[in-house]
Amino acid sequence: MNHQPAKKYVLGTVAALLLAACSPAEQAAAPAASGTAVAAGNKKIAITAIVEHPALDAVRKGVIDELKSKGYEEGKNLTVDFQSAQGSTANAAQIAKKFAGSNPDVIVAIATPSAQSVVTATKTIPVVYAGVTDPVAAKLVPGWEASNTNVTGVSDELPLEPQIDLMKKLVPAVKNVGYVYSPGEVNSTIVLDQLKAKLSPQGINVVAAPAQRSSDVLTAARSLNGKVDLIYTSLDNNVVSSYESMYKAAVEMKKPLVASDTDSVKRGAVAALGVNYYDLGKKTGDVVFQILNGKKAGEIPSARMETLDLFLSKKNAAAEGITLPEDLIKQAKEVQE
């Protein structure tokens, strides 16, 4: 692994258009930095995720590590109850009801399906979502400002302009972009709609391939053969949990995989421009810390991540039939050989 000089895509410099598009409410969405006051008393938090895969696992670790750094340590003055829904929305609903009944100090819900289940299950226990693409469309909060409800959190929403720019740098003549997604995940359908809206005016088609379950991902990816120039993957939990299937299909088709999850580069993507999910977890942990120290969830605005990291893989690029441009290699935070 060759570590290039660390560089971040700061959203304000990646695309001036993004700054112009941000509303004052969006620019103020990040929670104010909290102090490092000494944690007091024993606390209990419950954490649930729709499935276990590297990105969501990194969020959970970031939450726990951030709380530890601020004085709440698991096994000492903090109890952590974690449960995975194993990819099942029915399980997510059961876990949410159980957590609501156990009355923890805070419930952390990782990914959209789990967050929706928890928000349905309780209107009183503080809920902090994490890794949700669009919390407003998912009906977790009424807007990006402080909700005045029991819900707040940190989104993994990505501006698509830099993603599209990356696609064009990898495949300059791109005309058809493949997208494997789960129709039941609102975060995935939102990205699909946004992709179509952004790419269509540029003369680029989006070829969507639905995969209801993780076991359908390989078939869905293979259905794109002969129809696309590259495949883009969002943080669709079924797709990410089956990313080796995406890689297998991409190698067969000799078409590059472009991901929005940097952990997916280790598992088959040629390139990924996305948030660091461990950092997202730490930011979520700071929100949890504020609530444990007396602040109400409804007083804390929903937040986005401010930076994107570029990860590349020369090995995956060769297997999927392309050569990485030198200018991209120079910009990358990490290049895997």
On whether the CB atoms of residues 328 and 313 are closer than 8 A, the answer is no
Q: Looking at the whole model, is its pTM more than 0.85? A: no
Contacts of 336 (CB under 8 A, 6+ apart): 1, 2, 265, 266, 311, 312, 313, 314, 315, 316
Q: How far apart are CA 240 and CA 96, in angstroms?
A: 23
On whether the CB atoms of residues 309 and 331 are closer than 8 A, the answer is no
Question: Hey, what are 263's tokens?
Answer: 């952990």
3-state helix/strand/coil string of 299-333? HCCCECCCEEEEEEEHHHHHHCCCCCCHHHHHHCC
pLDDT at 40: 56
On whether the CB atoms of residues 312 and 335 are closer than 8 A, the answer is yes
If you search the block for the tokens 């929903």, which residue do you land on?
302
Beta strand 176-181 with 151-155 is unpaired
Mean pLDDT by 10 residues, the chain (337 residues): 44 37 37 44 94 93 98 96 95 98 98 96 98 94 97 93 96 97 91 96 98 94 98 92 96 97 93 93 98 98 92 98 96 94
Amino acid letter, residue 144 = W
Q: How far apart are CA 231 and CA 224, in angstroms?
A: 9
pLDDT at 41: 72
249 by DSSP, 3-state: which?
helix
pLDDT at 39: 52
On whether the CB atoms of residues 214 and 87 are closer than 8 A, the answer is yes
pLDDT at 5: 42
35-156+276-300 and 160-274+309-336 in the same fold: yes
Model pLDDT for residues 226-260, shown as the tens digit of each residue? 999 999 999 888 899 999 999 999 999 999 999 99
pLDDT at 315: 97
What are the extents of the domains in the chain? 35-156+276-300, 160-274+309-336
Model pLDDT for residues 200-221, shown as the tens digit of each residue? 999 999 999 999 988 999 999 9
The proportion of the chain whose per-residue pLDDT surpasses 70, expressed as a percent, equals 88
Specify the CATH architecture of the domain 35-156+276-300: 3-Layer(aba) Sandwich (3.40)
> Domain 160-274+309-336 adopts which CATH fold?
Rossmann fold (3.40.50)
